[in-house]
Amino acid sequence: MPRDAVITYSIKELANDFMVTARTLRHYEEQGLLSPGRQGQNRIYTVKDRARLSWILRGKRVGFSLTEIGDMLDLYNLGDGRETQVAVTKKLCRDRVDALQRQMKDIRDTIEELEGFCEEVDSLVKKKNGEWIIEG
Amino acid sequence: MPRDAVITYSIKELANDFMVTARTLRHYEEQGLLSPGRQGQNRIYTVKDRARLSWILRGKRVGFSLTEIGDMLDLYNLGDGRETQVAVTKKLCRDRVDALQRQMKDIRDTIEELEGFCEEVDSLVKKKNGEWIIEG
DNA sequence: TTTCGAATTGACGTTAACGTCAACGTTAAG
DNA sequence: CTTAACGTTGACGTTAACGTCAATTCGAAA
């Protein structure tokens, strides 16, 4: 029972919730992607850490490496509004978006190809049946 | 100059065309993804090999592993029209398509987030300028 | 107080997808 | 004939993203 009303998670809780191992969370921390607080020696994860992890995992699913994800998370840590930094950040952002859009096209094409193949298989079977071929 | 009118490619030609190394093509062959003919000792790639390679690389771009891509290419080698095999093949196909569609959603979400962040950065700068803050 | 479960920190192992390098064969040009 | 360019087969190296295991430590329950 939490003494305060602050929602936190143990490493295993968070790991289970996101279907990853505790080792994975420690690894992400080693890589600087997460930095949970400590309660004594143990890690305690907040809701913000949760959101961050969610972002990380989605990044992975779309094919980014951990270092790339780290870079993207760093973008959020601007703080200083130096004009050049802002410009750089926005360019990186747009580059990412472009890459993702190219990836979407690839996926669409692959889906089409797979569905086309699926139909091909169907018609192949029907043809066989049409010629009264019961089994190959 | 080719003696016949059959279009073929050397390993380096193909590699250059697709912006990969020769080693990569040999690696794909080791993994059974490609099986070019030989002219003496040298590999000769046909137009079919080209198409296969194109498929492989697109598969990579959408996040499949080489073994997964190999499995998918094997689907095309049905030949035997055994009913069960056909069913299995179609299920694998559909599973792939589902996975790809989930991936598309992830990508769309990520794009949204990135664009949202981009605008956030913009408004942050304008605010600063509105308050006559030239530089952070 | 002992014991148990959950967490921690090293540190080394593993897999995928190539990179890199050595040693060698072939062919066309000078 | 010899050099260069291109190709070949091992075979070992590398990086990323964790897995795995050993040796603790800590807090709560029996």
- Residue B105: its pLDDT value, please? 97
Give per-residue pLDDT as tens, A94-114.
999 999 999 999 999 999 999
> Any CB–CB contact under 8 A between B4 and chain A?
no
Instruction: List residues with CB under 7 Å of strand D.
Output: A 20-21, 23-24, 27-28, 31, 40-41, 60, 65-67; B 10-13, 22, 26, 41-43
DSSP assignment string, A84-122: HHHHHHHHHHHHHHHHHHHHHHHHHHHHHHHHHHHHHHH
Q: A67 CA to C22 C1', in Å?
A: 34
CB atoms near residue A45 (< 10 Å)? 22
Task: Answer yes or no: is pLDDT of B79 > 90.
Answer: no
For chain A positions 73-92, those within 8 Å of chain B (CB to CB) are 75-76, 78, 80-83, 86, 89-90
Burial category of A1 from C-beta neighbours within 10 Å (exposed 0-12, middle 13-18, buried 19 and up): exposed
Residues of chain A with pLDDT under 50: 1-3, 132-136
Q: What is the mean pLDDT of residues B73-99?
A: 80
- Residue A58: its pLDDT value, please? 95
How many CB pairs (< 8 A) connect A and B? 111
